[in-house]
Amino acid sequence: MPISEQAQRAWKAGTAVITSFTAFYGLFYFDYGPGEHCFTDIQSWYRKKVDGLLGINLEAARSSSSSRQLQQQQQQISEEESKQQPREDSS
């Protein structure tokens, strides 16, 4: 039983959409491992563009994260120093 021309067009259109999505995902989102690969540059470019559109500032987030870590480290040091100092009794 042959497929009608309309069904063939729908099948081709569906195949084109699925193929396009697969190529887009493979190019921009798929993680190929920790090392550099042939899509590294275009993936980093794409991520920067998306972050820019969404208003995400990675440098500010990194500096905020590092300053928060620095504050935590300073707090831990001051807590350790206060524990090490002997307490003086008033009696």
Give the model confidence (pLDDT) of 32-45 as tens digits. Answer: 888 899 999 999 99
> Inter-axis angle of helices 40-54 and 5-28, to 10 degrees?
90
What's the CA gap between 64 and 71, in Å, rounded?
Answer: 11
Distance CA 44, CA 59 (A): 14
What is the overall mean pLDDT for the chain?
84
Helix (H, G, I), strand (E, B) or coil at 34: coil
The conformation of residue 89, written as its DSSP 8-state character, comes to P
Three-state secondary structure call for residue 33: coil
**pTM (two decimals):** 0.54
Return the residue matching tokens 């921009």: 28
